[in-house]
Amino acid sequence: MRDRSRGAFIGAFLAPALGVYAFFVIYPFLQAVLFSTYRWRGLSQNKQFVGIENFRNLFSDPVFWQAVKNNLWLLFVAGAIAIAISVGVATGARGKSLLSRSLRGVYLFPQVISLVVVAILWYFVFSPEIGLLNGGLRAIGLDSLAKPWLGQPSTALAAVGIAFVWYVSGFYVMLFAAGIQSIPSEVFEAAELDGAHGFRRFRTVIWPMLWSVKRVAVVYMVINVMNVFALVLLMTRGGPDRKTEVMLTYLYEQAFTNSQFGYATSLAVANFVIIMALSLGILFYFRRSPMEARR
């Protein structure tokens, strides 16, 4: 009797959340795999099973590869820069000075405002007419350097990358600051006694001890980068000439502009596989703590 009421209670309390989750998250997720094997323009009677044809087309689609390349550029160039900046700032802001305290108040601002605001803001920084950057260059007499930053293929991706770094850095500052804080103060004192200061102390003591935080940071960066959508859509729409196209903007275009729903879903599946592959690769790379390895 008692046991039955316990079981009923567990079931009743789990049911609403699990039901909504199963129907609106798990079910569409499984459907996505199925949809990727269809040629389908949105009208159910025209749904046609084509097996792996979408993927074959995907792999011979130059725009897909361009988008993958841009995502990887954002990961390995913009992401690496963001992490480097964050580690530097987190290390520098360790103290209790007025500067580091005020910095701690503001560094998450870009992270909590909408990505839409971030995109529009940086669109105007780089905009040719009312742009902050061109306005500044003209003001100091460097008119010749003023450019349509988002409109020319050579600079568009870098401009999007800067906006991306601005948006994500705060999160990683927070992560690394917490990691540094968790290093026992004896370690710092011991390093001090051994004569390790400044950058040397950072390289030989702090950096290796941040191992587990680094792993988390890199996995998050992968998810962050593969999730880039609004930023590109609102800054450049993937242009000029697909130079800033990322996987999710291409997915959006294929699905909701071209009505190629099957093809778009195969893009989603490919995106997911890339996330899994990169994440597993990272977990494998960071599988053992450098502290242990030295023993």
Partner 1 sequence: MTRAVSTTLLLLFGFAVVLPLLWVLMSSVKSGHLIVSSPWAPPDLSNLAVENFSNAWSKAGIGRAFVNSLIATGATLVFLMPISAMAAYVLAKYEFRGSKAILATFLGGMMFPHFLVIVPLFFLLRDLSLLDTMTGLVVVYVAYSLSFTVFVLTGFFQVLPNELGEAAMMDGCGHARTFWRVMLPLARPGLLVVAIFDAIGLWNEYGLALVLLPSAENRTLPLGIANLTMTQQYQSDWGALFAGLVIVMAPVLFVYWIFREKIHETMLAGALKG
Contacts with partner 1 by CB under 8 A: the residue count is 92
Q: In whole angstroms, how far apart are CA 70 and each of 38, 64, 265? A: 27, 10, 19
CB of 75 within 8 A of CB of 225? yes
Site string for partner 1, 208-247 (x = CB under 8 A): -----x--x---x--x--xx-xx---x-------------
Q: Which of 75, 264, 278, 282 binds partner 1 (CB under 8 A)?
A: 264
The region of 15-23, 55-63, 66-74, 284-292 touching partner 1 under the rule CB under 8 A is 15-23
From candidates 54, 66, 70, 271, binder to partner 1 by CB under 8 A: 271
Q: Which of 63, 68, 103, 146 binds partner 1 (CB under 8 A)?
A: 103
Residue 64 is a binding residue for partner 1 (CB under 8 A): no
- Per CB under 8 A, 107 contacts partner 1: yes
User: Could you tell me if 75 and 86 are in contact, meaning their C-beta atoms sit under 8 angstroms apart?
Assistant: no
The torsion of the CA quartet 43, 252, 34, 55, rounded to 10 degrees, works out to 110
Residue 284 within binding range of partner 1, rule CB under 8 A: no
The reply to whether 116 sits near partner 1 by the rule CB under 8 A is yes
Closest CA to 179 of 283, 58, 89: 89
Phi, psi of 48, deg, nearest 5: -130, 130
Which of 175, 206, 218, 282 touches partner 1 by CB under 8 A? 175
Question: Of 59-67, 186-194, 248-256, 287-295, which segment contacts partner 1 by CB under 8 A?
Answer: 248-256
Smallest gap from residue 50 Cβ to partner 1 (A): 16
In this structure, are residues 219 and 279 in contact, taking their beta carbons and an 8 Å threshold?
yes
Comparing CA positions, the residue from 179, 200, 201 lying closest to residue 190 is 201
Residue 160 or 213: which CB sits closer to partner 1?
A: 213
Q: Which of 60, 62, 106, 184 binds partner 1 (CB under 8 A)?
A: 106
Among 135, 153, 281, 290, binds partner 1 (CB under 8 A): 135
Min dist CB 52 to partner 1, Å, is: 18
**CA atoms of 107 and 155, how far apart (whole Å):** 26
- Helices 62-73 and 247-256 pack at an angle, to 10 degrees, of 140
Closest approach of partner 1 to the CB of residue 277, in Å: 13
Of 90 and 156, nearer to partner 1 (C-beta) is: 90
Shortest distance, CB of residue 193 to partner 1, whole angstroms?
A: 17
Closest Cα to residue 68, out of 231, 265, 248? 248
Residue 269's nearest CA partner among 24, 34, 27 is 34
Looking at beta carbons only, is 279 or 289 nearer to partner 1?
279
Please give the backbone phi and psi of residue 39, each rounded to the nearest 5 degrees, phi first: -100, 120
36 to 55, contacts with partner 1 by CB under 8 A?
Answer: 42
Q: Which of 113, 145, 190, 283 binds partner 1 (CB under 8 A)?
A: 113
Does the footprint of partner 1 cover residue 159 (CB under 8 A)? no
Residues making up the chain, counted from first to last? 295
Q: Count of CB atoms within 10 A of residue 74's CB?
A: 26
Residue 130 has phi, psi (to 5 degrees) of -105, 20
